[in-house]
Amino acid sequence: MSLYPGHGMVQPALLCCTEELPRSASIKKKQQDVLGFLEALKIEFAQLDIASNEENRMWMRQNVPGDRKPSNGIPLPPQIFNENDYCGDYDTFFDAKEENAVYEFLGLTPPPGFKKESIPEEEQNGDSDMVEEEEGPGHTAEAKITGGGLQKTAQDEASEEGEESEDQGEEKDKRKMSPEEEDIQDDYVDEENEKGEEDLVSEEEEVEED
């Protein structure tokens, strides 16, 4: 358990920085995905509304590491923390969920009986009794056995590298920020600039009064 940022209330260690009234359908969906998954696992968490609470918003921005922020320095919700330790954003949460590593991602101890899905032993070792696989009449694909596993041919490796490169390209495209999200980040930046100008004017007025 930890202290709620800026308050004297004891709250669950896990904190999700969200917008109570999301500015876009994209943010709304991402927040629902994260919160719904945590609720399904019965993981306790507290929500920090950054839309209407300036203190929560500033706490979130101060605690997201610099190398994990977008180029304009304004991270979008949802952002996930374990007390003051940063866990990640929606994309990294999604990756952890896909890899069945959510508890590790959140810095939490898995419940009793929880087991990560393991890769079958024969797949890990690459063992196989099959040396030749018939692909068609009069044609077989051969593979040399080395160290208990099948040795890949140069052609196979080149093919796999090409597929991996293509998958990474698709993943990168999928995670590109949408125009809607770019507009939202621009709004955040404008708000920050306006707030900075207001603070500067207030300081100048105080100096003149002195």
Model pLDDT for residues 48-104, shown as the tens digit of each residue: 999 999 999 999 999 999 999 998 888 999 999 999 999 999 999 999 999 999 999
Which one, of 175, 177, 168, lies nearest residue 71 by Cα? 177
On whether the CB atoms of residues 62 and 55 are closer than 8 A, the answer is no
pLDDT, position 193:
63
Residue in the block written with tokens 């694909």: 141
CB atoms inside a 10 Å sphere around CB 182: 13
The 8 Å CB, 24+ separation contacts for 130-137 are none
Q: How many CB atoms lie within 10 A of CB 185?
A: 17
